[in-house]
Structure 1
């Protein structure tokens, strides 16, 4: 198996997720790291945002992550072996105002990774665009939608529920303009 130093973001995320699983700590990857995995080389995120699905104590997280070389520094977990760092944003796992109902799983040489589905990843990025006008997140949503199959009916339904039907139209126009 690869060393931590040799792992790309997906491999490292799967390694961490599988290691935590062995201790009954169930996490799911969200945020920009999911964009990095789904949109290949279009976007690089350095942080792995894991949502702890069972609200594990910080003390237990520290102990278990130390076994694979990650030490807590401020609110992050870092390792001398990699530039990637781990964060545990508070849950629950949601996109906009809606909880995530189903997670995706990817298998890597380094383990199994639970993460947002491509559709929920797009919704997560669009949430930042809809609510804060973050155009970088709009671009990330476009990249994921170009690379992965998306449930367009679901994204449109969710967008209306978020009060962003007009911005959904802007997202679709942005996507069509790049193709």
Structure 2
């Protein structure tokens, strides 16, 4: 698998996920890079974030990513000589708030694959960044994904916010109300 000099975030994500899968590792695209996958016209990122489902042996990840031109850099991320994207592997488990993520979407392009948060999970993840830390860009991205995708499960998001609020009283309930009001629901 080769990445051209004009490869974009999605190309890099597919390539990285594919070579890791071939090495026996399941990596799931998450965070802002998953949002950029679903709404590239509304959000861009230079970080390609994956959580490896089961803690991968570093040498396996290093070897797999080297086949597409990425090498481990001093700060612990993987960099490419010609591309601006940084591959990052946040420590798992794969979770949004208190919910462990055990299912994700798998998309295919020819012989490549990409494991990625579902649109609903992208919305929950980006909304959580607004809800917990007041990140307005994350709120805008969450709303953009809801508006762009018909497969976002708003009932699941409502149920999740209720579980999160019941578990942690420090969450700001007004931000939940604001989010759903912004959707007209």
Aligned to 1:22: 22
- Quote the offset at 1:108 in angstroms: 2.5
* 8 Å CA contact retained: 2:3, 2:11: no
Q: For 1:42 and 1:103, locate their aligned partners in 2 and report how far apart those are by CA, in whole Å.
A: 22
How many aligned positions are there?
177
Give the match for residue 59 of structure 2: 59
160, 163, 171: which one aligns with 2:162 = 160
Cα pair distance change 1:33/1:110, threshold 3 Å: farther
Q: Over aligned residue pairs, what C-alpha RMSD do you find?
A: 1.8
Query: Normalization by structure 2: what TM-score?
Result: 0.89
Alpha-carbon distance in structure 2 between the residues aligned to 1:174 and 1:136: 14
Residues 134-177 of structure 1 show CA distances to partners (whole Å, capped at 9, x for unaligned) of 1111111011111112101100000111115532221122234x
Give deviations 1:34-82, integer Å, cap 9, x for gaps: 1111112111011111101110122221122112210111211000121
Q: After alignment, is 29-38 or 165-174 more displaced? A: 165-174
* Unaligned segments of structure 1, at least 5 residues: none
Task: For 1:114-153, list aligned pairs within 5 A.
Answer: 114-148=115-149, 149-153=151-155
Q: Which runs of 5+ in 2 are unaligned?
A: 166-170
Q: State the 4+ residue runs in structure 1 displaced beyond 6 angstroms.
A: none
TM-score for both structures, normalised by structure 1: 0.91
Q: Distance in 2 between matches of 1:145 and 1:11?
A: 23
The answer on 1:95 being equivalent to 2:103 is no
